[in-house]
């Protein structure tokens, strides 16, 4: 079976700096793949290319067989790509529920005309969205804070709100950027269980950027390691963690 996400030899530079130097990777339906590497290795740049924030200078990014490199981000989102951000991309002055509902924008029924004309299908779809948002909030243990303003909530809670918002778009491919950052141990365990469930029960393909190796080894089926914009290792999490090239790359950053 073809991979849902197939990245092939993507190159991206900022002036003279080669952020991505031809990495290739694949993620299949129902698979959680970890994307790890030292600071500045190119992980977020690759996410930004897949999600349509950056246009790579060359290479191919296919989602469900369709070339998406260089497409605008809304077109890529409409193909079923959801994303959470390293530094939270929520609207602080809106409620949790409003933020999560915003994640459904590209799956709204009827389009612009139907909304402008106030057609019954729109009211029905809004009701459906609300119900689905409340179900997601319950699933992620956020029902109690549905009416709270995002700006008043702790960071760990916001990470889950972001995940709920991304899930509202019913993603087939979920790009998750450092979800464990700022979470306490118990929250990391819960998050890991949630990501695993999304892959196993909903069949989502998940690409996870994470520095928390405990989460990576417990959740990922496979790990791809980037360094200086290149893939330096790939394989089963425990195996990759022992790979001398990976150890050297991490020590190089710490030195």
Binding residues for ligand ATP, rule: CB under 6 A, are: 14, 17, 19, 37, 39-45
Residue 14 or 112: which CB sits closer to ligand ATP? 14
Q: Give me the phi and psi of 206, to 5 degrees please.
A: -125, 130
Q: How far apart are CA 41 and CA 253, in angstroms?
A: 10
Report in angstroms how near the CB of residue 53 gets to ligand ATP at its nearest. 9
Least distance CB 115 / ligand ATP (angstroms): 34
Question: Between 41 and 240, whose beta carbon lies closer to ligand ATP?
Answer: 41
Least distance between ligand ATP and beta carbon 45 (Å): 3
Phi then psi for 89, rounded to 5 degrees?
A: -110, 45
Tokens at residue 75, please? 């077109």
Q: Which is nearer to ligand ATP, 37 or 179 (CB)?
A: 37
Judged by beta carbon, residue 23 or residue 37, the one nearer ligand ATP is 37
Q: How far is the CB of 130 from ligand ATP (least distance, A)?
A: 35
C-alpha 220/C-alpha 61 separation (Å) is 21
Extract the runs of DSSP E, i.e. beta strands, from 52-103.
Answer: 58-63, 66-67, 81-84
Gap between the Cα atoms of 71 and 19, Å rounded: 20
Q: Which is nearer to ligand ATP, 45 or 99 (CB)?
A: 45
Minimum CB distance to ligand ATP, residue 148 (Å): 29
C-beta neighbour count of 61 within 10 angstroms: 22
Q: How far apart are CA 224 and CA 37, in angstroms?
A: 8
């Amino acid at each position: 079976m073809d991979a849902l996400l197939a990245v092939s030899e993507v190159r991206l530079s900022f002036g003279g700096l080669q952020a991505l130097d031809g990495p290739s990777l694949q993620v299949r339906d129902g698979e959680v793949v970890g994307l790890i590497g030292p600071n500045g290795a190119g992980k977020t740049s690759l996410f930004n290319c897949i999600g349509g924030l950056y246009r790579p200078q060359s290479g191919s990014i296919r989602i469900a067989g369709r070339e998406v490199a260089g497409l605008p981000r809304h077109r890529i989102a409409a193909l079923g790509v959801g994303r959470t951000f390293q530094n939270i991309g929520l609207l602080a002055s809106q409620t949790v529920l409003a933020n999560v509902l915003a994640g459904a924008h590209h799956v709204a029924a009827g389009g612009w005309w139907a909304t402008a004309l106030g057609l019954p299908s729109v009211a029905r779809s809004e009701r459906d969205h609300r119900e689905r948002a409340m179900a997601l909030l319950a699933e992620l243990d956020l029902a109690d804070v549905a009416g709270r303003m995002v700006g008043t909530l702790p960071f760990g809670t916001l990470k889950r709100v972001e995940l709920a918002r991304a899930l509202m778009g019913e993603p087939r491919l979920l790009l998750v950027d450092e979800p464990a950052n700022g979470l306490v141990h118990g929250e990391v365990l819960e998050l890991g269980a949630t990501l695993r469930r999304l892959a196993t029960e909903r069949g989502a393909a998940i690409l996870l950027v994470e520095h928390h190796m405990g989460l990576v080894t417990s959740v990922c089926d496979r790990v791809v390691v980037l360094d200086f914009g290149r893939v330096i290792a790939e394989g089963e999490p425990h195996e990759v963690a022992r790979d001398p090239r990976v150890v050297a790359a991490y020590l190089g950053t710490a030195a």
